[in-house]
Amino acid sequence: MWQLLRKYPCILIFGVLQIFFTAPGQTFFISFFVLYIFQDIGISHSCFAGIYSLATITASLFLTPAGRFIDKYSLKTVLTGITTCMAAGCFLLASSKSLSSLFFGFFILRLFGQGVFGLTGNAVMAKSFEKNRGKAMGITTLGFPLSEAVYPSIALILLYNFGWRQTYLILGLSTLFIMLPVQLFLISKSPKKQAGFLPGEKLESGTSTGRTTPGLTTTDYDFSLSEALRDIKFYLIIIASCVPPVVMTGLLFHQTSVFQGNYWPVTMAGSGLTVYAVCKAVSSIITGPLVDKHGPFILFGTMILMIAFGTLLTACGGPAWIMYIYFAVMGAALGAASPIVNVVFASLYGTKHIGSIKGFVQTFRNGLTALGPLPVALAMDTGISITFILYMITISIFILSTFPLIIKLIVVRSFANK
C-alpha cells in the first residue's frame, strides 16, 4: 500500500482530502452548532431536527444526476462546480434567518458534504485504479477518521472565538480559496487521464487474477445505470451495502438508551468513540490489500457479520469494558465497508458510469440512514425494550450477511455458463 502511495501520491492524497473536506456537511460537525443555530433563529429543537432530516432526504434524491455529472464532465470542471456549491451552502447557512434559508443551506451542505464530495472521490479512485483499486479505496477512506479527528477541534476554536455564523463564513471562504486550489493542483500533478486508468493499473484480459477467477472478476463491459437496474445482483448489493451506515447511525442516535439499558456509564462513550475511530482507520488500510488479493465478496459477508456481532454485544450487555469491544468491532467493520463496497460495484459494473451508479446507490443509503433511527424510536415508544429490539436487528443482519455469498454464487454460475 505504501508503495502505491509513493508511486501515485498526488491522486491518492487528492482522494483522502476530497473525503476530509466533507466535514462542513457532515452530522458529526454540524452537531456542534445545533444548539446555537435553533436558539439564534428562534425555533424548537424538534423543528430544527425536522428541517435537517427533510434536507438530508431531499438532498439524497439528487445524487443520481450528480453522479451523471461526474461521469460526463472533466474532473477539473466537476471539482470547480461542486466546490463552489459547497461554499455557497456554507454562506447560505451563515446568513440564514428563516426556515426556508435554513432548509436550503442544509440541503446544499448535505448534498455536497454528505454526498457529492465523497461520491467524486470514490468515483475518481475507481476510474483511476484497477489492479490496486482496493488499496486505493482503503487509503481514500482514511479521509473520514482524519476529518473526524481534526474538524471537531476546528469547530470548537472557531465557534467560541467567532460564533456559528462567522464559523461557516470562514469555512466557505476556506473551501474556495484553500480546498479548491489544493485539489486542482494535485490533479494537475497526477498522471490521471480523463477516460483511462493510471499508467500500469490496467489489467490485461486473460492475465489478471480478477478476470480468470469468478470471485475476483473485473468486468470487461461497462454497464449503464439502466442496465445495472435490470440485474438482480444490483439490488442485493444495495441492500447489503446499506447495513453499515444504517445500523451504526441508529446505534449512535440511540446510544444513551443502549448504554442505560446495559448499565454502561454514558461518560465512557467519548473514549469508546476514540477506539472506534482508530479501529476504523486501521481497518481501512488493512482491508484494501485483502480486497485486491481475495476479491470483495467473502470480505463483504464477513464485514456484515462483524456488524451483527457488534450489535449482539450491545444486546447482551455485560461489564462496561464490553463497550470497548463493541466500538472496536464496529469501527473495524465500518472502516472495511468503503473499500469493499466500492470495489464490488466497480468490479461488477465497470467504471465508465460508476458515478451515476454510485449516485443511485447513495440515494438509498443516505435516505435510509436519515430514517434509520425512526423505527427503533417508534418501537421504543410502544414499550418494546431496547434489548429486544437489538436482538431482532442482530438476527436481521445475520440474514443479510448471506447476500454477498448469493451474489458470488450468481457470478460463478454466470462464468460457468460462458
Please write the tens of the pLDDT for every residue from 48-96. Answer: 878 888 888 899 899 989 999 998 899 999 999 999 999 999 999 999 9
d(CA 359, CA 371): 18
pLDDT band at 206 (very low <50, low <70, confident <90, very high): very low
Is residue 177 located within the same domain as residue 188? yes
- Of 168, 202, 236, which one is at a domain's C-terminal end? 202
Query: Which pLDDT score is estimated for 20?
Result: 94
The larger pLDDT score, comparing residue 191 to residue 284, is at: 284
Q: Which of 202, 236, 262 is the last residue of a domain?
A: 202
For residues 309 and 244, membership in a common domain is answered with yes
pLDDT at 102 > cutoff 80: yes
The domain in which residue 207 lies consists of 203-418
Of 148, 149, 138, 113, the residue nearest 335 (C-alpha): 138
Q: What is the CATH number of the domain that holds 262?
A: 1.20.1250.20
My answer on whether 177 and 135 are in the same domain is: yes
Residue 196 has pLDDT above 90, yes or no: no
Residue pLDDT, tens place only, 322-331? 999 999 999 9
Last residue of some domain: 179, 202, 225?
A: 202
**What was the pLDDT predicted at 352?**
86
Q: How many other C-beta atoms can be found within 10 angstroms of the C-beta atom of residue 144?
A: 24
Q: Do 191 and 246 reside in the same domain of the chain?
A: no
One domain, residues 273 and 368: yes
Mean per-residue pLDDT for 173-196? 87
Same domain, 233 and 243: yes
Same domain, yes or no: 193 and 229: no
- What would the DSSP string read from start to end of 127-180? HH-STTHHHHHHHHHTHHHHHHHHHHHHHHHHHHHH-HHHHHHHHHHHIIIIIH
Per-residue pLDDT tens digits for 371-389: 767 777 778 888 888 899 9
* C-alpha to C-alpha distance for 68 and 388, rounded to whole angstroms: 42
DSSP code of residue 115: I
Q: Tell me: do 326 and 374 sit in the same domain.
A: yes
Average pLDDT, the chain: 86
Q: Are residues 160 and 222 in the same domain?
A: no
Any idea what the Cα angle at residue 356 is, between residues 350 and 357, rounded to 5°? 55
Q: How far apart are CA 237 and CA 352, in angstroms?
A: 19
Distances (CA, A) of 13 to 77, 90, 139, 168, 172: 19, 24, 9, 25, 21
Q: Are residues 22 and 131 in the same domain?
A: yes
Number of domains in the chain: 2
Q: Is the pLDDT of residue 220 over 70?
A: no
CA–CA separation, 257 and 84 (whole Å): 40
- List, for residues 7-23, the tens digit of each pLDDT value: 889 999 999 999 999 99
Residue 219: exposed, middle, or buried by beta-carbon count in 10 A (0-12, 13-18, 19+)? middle
Global pTM?
Answer: 0.79
